[in-house]
Amino acid sequence: MKVGLIGTGRISDIYLTNCMKFDELDVIACASLDREEASLKAKRFNLPRVLSPDELLSDDEIECVLNLTIPAAHFDIANAALEAGKHVYSEKPFATSLNDAQQLLDLAAERQLLIGNAPDTFMGGRWQTVRRLIDSGVIGKPSGFTAHVGTHGVERHHPNPDFYYKEGGGPLLDLGPYYLTVLVFLFGPMTRVCGMSNRSTNTRLIENGPRHGEIIEVEIDTHSLSLIEFDCGVVGSMTMSFDVWDSESPRLEIYGSEGSICVPDLDPVHGANNFDGPVWFRRRADSRWEFQPRPTNRPEQWLVAENRHGYNANYRGLGLRDLAQASVENREPRANGKLAFHILEALIAIEESARNRTFQEISSTVKRPDPMPIDEGFVA
């Protein structure tokens, strides 16, 4: 599939690096409002052409647009790509409103085009392993889960963190898509959510780069707690926070009738916003977990799940490759627009619940994405 990239910022590096590994993808052009930035990117990755966004969208040779623009532009670029008769794969979020998201789904269906959306991290080896353990009945019937990401924001490493603390930012919208997408991959569609949120401070101190020492205003809540119910009956809680200095809580635990699965936080990057990492599980017959220390202190007392899947590194763009394969195989991509819409609806509903102090029903539904083939991929 011949691909045109729009948006040549920092995240495009990993996408282009991975696209070069996939035979199904051929990135033949890039475009940006910053022509110089696009030219430098094309030179670095040996891309044949540098175009304006309008030129790229009107190029008949390009079959799919890789949309890596800023979130506010995701809808406009995706809509224009579909109007031009091209498949489109966008970074998260799918759109900034449900009306815009529905318009994209309707247009893609009308034009018989494929639409895909990040995150695609659920296609990585760690999460495929968790899915295999659940589907094979290792922990019996799943009943509950806890998901937890506790950080103290992005101002220590991001030189321009302002967006994260304005409307449309915050930990729920930034980190939540990764975890909700993984949970839907594991359990299927959500039916009801409830949220609560607050913030610890109204200002943040930038601690890196040329703006080091500058104070920025916090306009949104930075600590989010949600309860989530799935159609299959599983219920659980999710905490996404920029107000936690340190935590040893696992990124995800899943509880079943015959055992538990733990996705530990042994490394700060190994959460649902990445593809790889260890998976631990414990079965009813193995031992009496309630009498043992925390798993992070005694990992040898846990069983470590054998990861027999590929993609155990940063393979952002894997969803785009799957879209290209889906176009040939006449199927829905795994990281598809309907999945992205379902996640967006749940995120918006959690925010509304926190404001209104009510449970929110999720009206959309989605098919649980198929697991990846067990012997496919690059093992890193």
Domain range annotation of the chain: 2-117, 122-304
Write down the pLDDT at residue 180.
Answer: 98
Distances (CA, A) of 305 to 205, 283, 295, 373: 41, 12, 14, 17
d(CA 254, CA 145): 4
Q: What is the pLDDT of residues 323-367, one digit of tens each?
A: 999 999 999 999 999 999 999 999 999 999 999 999 999 999 999
Answer yes or no: are the C-beta atoms of 135 and 314 closer than 8 Å.
no
- pLDDT the model gives residue 274: 85
In 3-state terms, what secondary structure has residue 153? coil
Query: Letter for the amino acid at 206?
Result: I
Question: Quick one: CATH architecture of 2-117?
Answer: 3-Layer(aba) Sandwich (3.40)
Question: Distance between terminal CA atoms of the chain?
Answer: 25
Q: Give the count of beta carbons closer than 10 Å to the beta carbon of residue 128.
A: 26
- The answer to whether 134 and 122 have CB atoms below 8 angstroms apart is no
Closest CA to 126 of 79, 89, 161, 178: 178
Rounded CA-CA distance 91/96 in Å is 12
pLDDT (mean) for 48-75? 96
Across the range 245-265, mean pLDDT stands at: 90
Residues 205 and 217: their CA atoms lie apart, in Å, by: 9
Sequence-ordered list of residues with C-beta below 8 angstroms from that of 176, at least 6 positions apart, any chain = 224, 238, 240, 347, 350
Residue 224 pLDDT > 90: yes
Is the pLDDT confidence value at 237 over 70? yes
- Separation of alpha carbons 200 and 223, rounded Å: 8
Name 314's Cβ contacts closer than 8 Å, sequence gap at least 6.
14, 18, 274, 275
Give 18-57 pLDDT, tens digit per residue.
999 999 999 999 999 999 999 999 999 999 999 999 999 9
Share of the chain above pLDDT 70, in %: 91
State yes or no: pLDDT of 378 exceeds 90: no
CB 218 within 8 A of CB 203: yes
Q: Look at residue 306 in the predicted model and tell me its pLDDT.
A: 63
Strand partners, 51: 31
Confidence check: pLDDT of 282 > 50? yes
Pairing of strands 115-117, 303-304: unpaired
Can 2-117 and 122-304 be said to share one CATH topology?
no
Which residue type sits at 368? R
Higher pLDDT, 275 or 204: 204
Residue 268 and residue 157 in contact, taking contact as beta carbons nearer than 8 Å:
no
Question: How far is it, in rounded angstroms, from Cα 142 to Cα 232?
Answer: 9
| Tokens standing for residue 335 | 């990281």
Domain 122-304 has CATH 3.30.360.10: yes
Q: Report pTM.
A: 0.92
pLDDT of residue 373: 84
